[in-house]
Structure 1
Amino acid sequence: MSEPPSYPSIDPTTFDLVVVGTGLPESMIAAAASASGKSVLHLDQNKFYGSHFSSLPILELTSFFNSNSTPLPPSSSSTSATSSDDYSVVNLAIRPLYLDVEISSFSTQLLDEHSNKFNLDVSGPRLLFCADSSIDLLIKSGASQYVEFKSIDASFVGDESGKLWSVPDTRAAIFKDKSLSLMEKNRLMRFFKLVQVHMAAASDRDEGNENQEEGKESEISEEDLESPFVEFLTKMKLPSKIKSIILYAIAMADYDQDNKEQCKDLLKTKDGIARLALYQSSIGRLTNAPGAFIYPIYGQGELPQAFCRRAAVKGCIYVLRMPVTSLLLEKSSGVYKGIRLASGQDIFSQKLVLDPSLTVPSPSASPLDSFHESFQFLCMRDVKQKVARGICIMRSSLKPDISNFLVVYPPQSLYPEQITSIRALQISGNSAVCPRGMFVLYLSALSDDAHQGKKSLNAAMNALFTCPDSVNLESSCADQNENAELKPTLLWSALYIQELATGQFDSISFTPMPDGNLDYGDVLDSAMKLFQKMYPNEEFFPDTVEHDDGLSLEET
């Protein structure tokens, strides 16, 4: 019979804020609250940092999916050391947020030798634009001191044949692109110039510079800005191939913009122009990063850890391997009072932020039937939309002589019923996510159900990989080295469907699950809104003189 786990006692027992889960939004909030002088206790039931934003070795990743794909019953907490006469205890449960997990290994011996040398992202693919607000926050908060980055070498658009076409995102790239005709190059250059002039004129007007009317003549009209972006691109007489590149590989649209009936997020021109401006301003912004994107060395799990380290410097207390079993609510009012830990200890705080996997089983099962509305908030957090994710390991690059790059499959590029973009990010061993000589590919696609999501991922994998043959795997890999045109052979893969639970803000707040976006913009926005809801008079990371002026990037 196994011994029950031994839990440390936490002292003090009262805090301004308790944060449960060390995902990226939770870690940002804990660091921001600590920087504002709040007393913060940061807990995680896992033995590692990052929660749903972590980067894990193969066995730990498998275990994480297993523990988060099956509903767990409420934990029965130990008797509290504090009298419970003044409050009611409401047990918490783990809700399954990963569905249809499918893990396949085609080279058991090879991966067994290196399984601990992988840092696989739970919520990939994900990158940082070099000019977006996440970079500014890393620098402002001081978290940039604890993480290094690698530049992403290139971006491509893929098709069903396995062909990868370069994204012409700069003047030099446009003129070097042999797949574009001279007319297409000229029209694309004119369009990029229009975007630059529009953004410059709008910026001048916002700053109150003179010649506002002259600048306004160079801007895109208000009518066009409110129109669908796809219609504006057509109005600019851009060919369908160029429109597809702009919409899905630069503006990062998710849904088929030409299919208004099925498009759940029709991109307006003003939003498309803003995304293009972000993309173009990101190119070459950082030293040693000639492209638009960067990626954390050791995986995206380094980002929440960087904020956790920053929070610890400011006095935040961290306790891993510590499940939270229950909420403590005042009997008279139902107001949140504290939490009960797996150790049986009660911790009290003014505010509570919970990992999105925690929930209350049902209002009817609670001892507080009179506070039904409060429990609706805690229970009814289902979101129909999902994101299909995949992780693939191979021993050769999809593109010879290129290590780290992004591939986008626009809607209908792989099969007629494909209604969303599929994104694939290849990361090599030079980013310390896998052994040297190996490569990791992350895939994602928004979906309404598991079948649709898996179909999208499998279509991309069929275009990119040779079907694995476990018997002749070693010889097929050797053949690839002799013939670079052959597709890589898959060594290991994990396909799964992730629920897209959204964040909710109250005295008890929930952070969101990782979204389907490529960047961290919405994650940051959600963390900021939650923090401002809790502390409306506090700045989200006040300016200090302690932080560095930039990021650390390795030479490519």
Structure 2
Amino acid sequence: QRVLHVDSKNYYGGNWASFSFSGLLSWIKEKQQKTEVSDECEDWRKLILENEEVISLDNSDKTIEHVEDFCFGNQDSAEDVEEAGALSKLPLFGSSGAQGAAQDPEKESAPVENTLPEPAASSDPASATGGNETEVTPEREGSPDPASGEPASDVGETEAPTENAAQEPKKITYAQIVREGRRFNIDLVSKLLYSRGLLIDLLIKSNVSRYAEFKNATRILAFREGKVEQVPCSRADVFNSKQLTMVEKRLLMKFLTFCLEYEQHPDEYQDYENRTFAEFLGTRKLTPSLQHFILHSIAMVSEADCSTLDGIQATKKFLQCLGRYGNTPFLFPLYGQGEIPQCFCRMCAVFGGIYCLRHSVQCLVVDKESGRCKAVLDHFGQRISAKYFVVEDSFLSESTCKNVCYRQISRAILITDQSILKTDSEQQVSILRMPPMDSGQPAVCIIELCSSTMTCMKDSYLVHLTCPSSKTAREDLEPVVQKLFSLNTESEEETENEEVEKPRVLWAVYFNMRDSSGIDRSSYDRLPSNVYVCSGPDSALGNDCAVRQAETIFQEMFPTEEFCPPPPNPEDTVYDEEEPASEDSGLNNAPEMKPEPSPEEGGSEEGATGEPEK
């Protein structure tokens, strides 16, 4: 298929994007000022024919609200500080991928510490890479049972202790954060990849994984009795744990084994199907600490309203993901979650997709007789015809969405000076699910990233907090931030000795993000049958919702085609200048590659290229 991707923003990914520190500051300023996109072609309605009508689109993004940022250092000291390596004459690109990498020569040579090994079960030499760089690769048949919880590798747990581990954390100033701003890759949405989730399977199948590298989440944490502690989740962790008694270890392993085989023992849970998972755990002779670990750190479900069956299934999913790539079920992409959409963009561009940023669309043009959308008009008054149109929810006008009821996500992003649970190693990627502080409030998912994820500068940590909204993001999340972190400024820190043990927040931002997932197509008013709506990020930890949505939309358009098939090897591709290959041409229905016309013949130097990426 011939694909044109048009976006009014100047960065890829929408609300899935990631930014450098200066890029995020620009994004914050834009959202706080709520700048409108001006129409360059004011008389575009004159271009509509008599037998056509329009569905107006909205280029003023209303998906982000209540943006509040705070600096806990001396901002005046950073007034004359310039970002290292920045190109001041070019527009600020927020993301670290296709554009960011081109502008940042340091990124190409930056050392990647402790990246993941290939899966333990894989012996495919083609999947091995030089040095520490890692690919996500499929496993071969006959691999060890991941449900056993045995780690696939000890990488991620065995980094050498650093010299500073037992010392006081280095004092980081706001000026340093600004100067090292390009070391940050700050995600708007905070997620992890389940090692056996739909996204990992899709990355492997489509070979998009070649464009990304991943790191294990190294620790699962819990907050209990006023302190943060590490949760044993694999078999090895359980038996090596000093937190649990021998009796607790046996009880925990017996329950986890039951969850893996629960379909074979329906009599053990059927009587509790109409009761909550928390109530079911109370009947299993588990101690309060084990119930807490299972509920909040393994199943990661709500204590108040998660059913017994949903809790058991969530526990099983967690256990099945153990051991595929490391000692926890989760992976995190180096340079941030914003790399993932750009990886798919790169694959599309290699095979002829064209991408236009800073290019807004005024309206959809609908044929009155057939009721189908036939074209769009852009901000230059240019008509672009197509058979199918995929529109991100945020571009739909208020009149189209008048019957839609949106949910909201509360987000906070912190830059801190030390980890919420200090150990011998500074390079830890941790996930902590904070139980609700009061009844009626949601649990808060906290992901703490270290500098080896290439998302923050050395000696700092990037902390993401996420929960479904009940109020503004600051009202939802600030109580959790105050419980885990010190918010004292540099001048106050010396007098507040009781806060010394907590990590100090250097900078923070709070915002609410629209969650448009799960909305039925019929909720949108007057939507033509060949216009498909995709949502922004949801509040779940994984990416399964987005993958299912993409596949559903694709199958509705092309029911006989395979979704994201393995691409042909560019070296084996036959270039045909006359006729494109038919659907049964033996290339797995992949789009045909054609030589790109030269700029003199009307080709674009910035669009897709017929040559494979180097």
TM-score between both structures, scaled by the size of structure 2 = 0.68
Give the whole-Å Cα distance in 1 for the aligned partners of 2:353 and 2:268. 48
How far apart, in 1, do the equivalents of 2:57 and 2:39 lie? 7
The match for 2:448 is 426
2:8 aligned to which of 41, 45, 52: 45
CA offsets 1:107-130 (integer angstroms, 9 cap, x no match): 332222122321100011x10111
Counterpart position of 1:509: 532
CA 1:55–1:476 in 2, change beyond 3 Å: closer, same or farther? Answer: farther
Q: Deviations over 1:186-205 (max 9, x none)?
A: 2111101212333xxx5xxx
For residue 67 of structure 1, report the CA deviation from its aligned partner. 4.0
Partner residue in 1 for 2:257: 193
Distance 1:328 1:279 in 2: 46
Q: Offset of 1:304 from its aligned partner?
A: 0.3
Residue pairs, 1:464-475, within 5 angstroms: 464-471=484-491
SS at match of 1:294: strand
Q: In 2, are the aligned partners of 1:408 and 1:421 still within 8 Å (CA)?
A: no
The one-letter code matched in structure 2 to 1:237 is K
Q: Which of 8, 32, 41 is the aligned partner of 1:77?
A: 41
Q: Deviations over 1:320-367 (max 9, x none)?
A: 1211122212244543121111222111111111122112243xxxxx
Question: Aligned to 2:292, which of 244, 249, 266?
Answer: 244
Shift of 1:302: 0.6
Matched, 1:491 2:506: yes
AA matched with 1:445:
C
The amino acid across from 1:192 in the alignment is: L
- Please say if 1:150 is aligned against 2:215: yes
Relative to structure 1, the CA distance from residue 174 to residue 319 in structure 2 (aligned partners, 3 Å threshold; closer, same or farther) is same
In structure 2, do the counterparts of structure 1 residues 393 and 42 end up closer, same or farther at CA, with 3 Å as the change threshold? same
2:299 aligned with 1:256, yes or no?
no
1:32-73 deviations in Å (ceiling 9; x for gaps): xxxxxx111111222221211111012322333454564848
Shift of 1:83: 6.1
Give the one of 135, 139, 157 matched to 2:200: 135
User: 316-325 or 148-157, which moves further after superposition?
Assistant: 316-325
Query: Matched residues in 1 for 2:564 and 2:3: separation?
Result: 15
Equivalence for 2:241: 177
Residue 58 of structure 1 aligns to which amino acid in structure 2?
F
Paired residue secondary structure (2:5): strand
Q: Once structures 1 and 2 are overlaid, which stretch shifts more, 106-115 or 292-301?
A: 106-115
Q: Are 2:276 and 1:234 equivalent residues in the alignment? A: no
Residue 299 of structure 1: aligned partner: 336
Classify the secondary structure of the residue corresponding to 1:423. Answer: strand
Query: Is 1:455 paired with 2:475?
Result: yes
Summarize the alignment of residues 260-409 of structure 1 with structure 2, pairs less than 5 Å apart: 266-286=305-325, 289-332=326-369, 334-362=371-399, 375=400, 378-383=401-406, 385-400=407-422, 401-409=425-433
Change (3 A) 1:184 1:61: same
Identity, % of aligned positions = 26
Name the residue aligned to 1:437: 459
Looking at secondary structure, tell me which structure has more helix per residue.
1
- How many angstroms does 1:467 deviate by? 1.9
Aligned to 2:393, the other structure's residue is in SS state: coil
Partner secondary structure for residue 290 of structure 1: coil
Q: Residue 43 of structure 1 contacts residue 318 of structure 1 at CA under 8 Å; is this kept in 2?
A: yes
Is the contact made by 1:386 and 1:449 (CA closer than 8 Å) also made in structure 2?
Answer: no
1: CA distance between counterparts of 2:247 and 2:16?
44
Cα distance in 1 between the residues matched to 2:283 and 2:482: 36
Structure 2 vs 1, CA of residues 152 and 500 (structure 1 numbering), >3 Å: closer, same or farther? same
Residue among 564, 571, 582 paired with 1:541: 564
Distance in 1, matches of 2:428 and 2:411, equals: 19
Q: Distance in 2 between matches of 1:273 and 1:132?
A: 17
2:553 to 530, 539, 542: 530
CA–CA distance in structure 2, aligned partners of residues 228 and 535 of structure 1: 41
Q: In structure 1, what is the Cα distance between the partners aligned to 2:56 and 2:310?
A: 43
Secondary structure of 1:462's counterpart equals helix
Say whether 1:120 aligns with 2:86: no
Relative to structure 1, the CA distance from residue 297 to residue 130 in structure 2 (aligned partners, 3 Å threshold; closer, same or farther) is: same
Relative to structure 1, the CA distance from residue 386 to residue 143 in structure 2 (aligned partners, 3 Å threshold; closer, same or farther) is same
Mapped to 2, the partners of 1:528 and 1:66 lie a distance apart of: 35
1:419 to 1:546, Cα distance in 2 relative to 1, 3 A:
farther
- Which structure has more strand as a fraction of its residues? 1
Q: Secondary structure at the match of 1:389?
A: strand
Match of 2:53 among 88, 108, 116: 88
Which residue is equivalent to 1:417?
439
CA distance in structure 1 between the partners assigned to 2:442 and 2:273 by the alignment? 23
Instruction: Check whether the contact 1:75–1:92 (CA below 8 A) recurs between aligned residues.
Output: no
More displaced 10-residue stretch of structure 1: 403-412 or 521-530: 403-412
Q: 1:282-307: CA deviations, max 9, x gaps?
A: 22212xx3221110000001100111
Q: Cα deviations across residues 442-481 of structure 1 (Å, max 9, x unaligned)?
A: 001112332xx433311221122112214366x799x99x
CA contact (8 A) 1:411 1:418 kept: no
Match for residue 106 of structure 1? 72
SS in 2 for 1:235: coil
Deviation at 1:381, TM superposition (A): 2.7
1:97 aligns with 2:120: no
* Post-superposition CA distance 1:490-530 (Å, at most 9, x none): 11111111121235544222211211111111121222222
Counterpart residue identity of residue 520, structure 1: N
Deviation digits for residues 7-46 of structure 1 (CA, Å, limit 9, x no counterpart)? xxxxxxxxxxxxxxxxxxxxxxxxxxxxxxx111111222
Could you report, residue by residue, the CA deviation over 1:198-246 in whole angstroms, capped at 9, with x for unpaired residues? 3xxx5xxxxxxxxxxxxx4588555555653223222222233322221
Q: Which runs of 5+ in 1 are unaligned?
A: 1-37, 203-215, 258-265, 363-374, 548-556
The two structures, once aligned, show a CA RMSD in angstroms of 2.9
Pair 466,79 (structure 1): closer, same or farther in 2 beyond 3 Å: same
Whose RCO is larger (CA < 8 A, sep 6+)?
A: 1
Judge conservation of contact 2:54–2:365 (CA < 8 Å) in 1.
yes
C-alpha distance in structure 2 between counterparts of 1:164 and 1:397, whole Å: 11
Compute the TM-score of the two structures, normalised by the length of structure 1.
Answer: 0.75
Task: Return the alpha-carbon distance in structure 1 between the equivalents of residues 352 and 327 of structure 2.
Answer: 38
Mapped partners of 1:218, 1:339: distance in 2: 54
Shift in Å at residue 409 of structure 1?
A: 3.9
Instruction: Decide which moves more: 99-108 or 498-507.
Output: 498-507
Q: 1:538 to 1:227 in 2, by over 3 A?
A: farther
What secondary structure does 2:327 align onto? coil
- Conservation of the 8 A alpha-carbon contact between 1:154 and 1:291: yes
Structure 1 stretch 290-299 or stretch 230-239: which is displaced more?
A: 230-239
* Contact 2:20 2:181 survives alignment (8 Å): yes
Distance in 2, matches of 1:89 and 1:197, equals 55
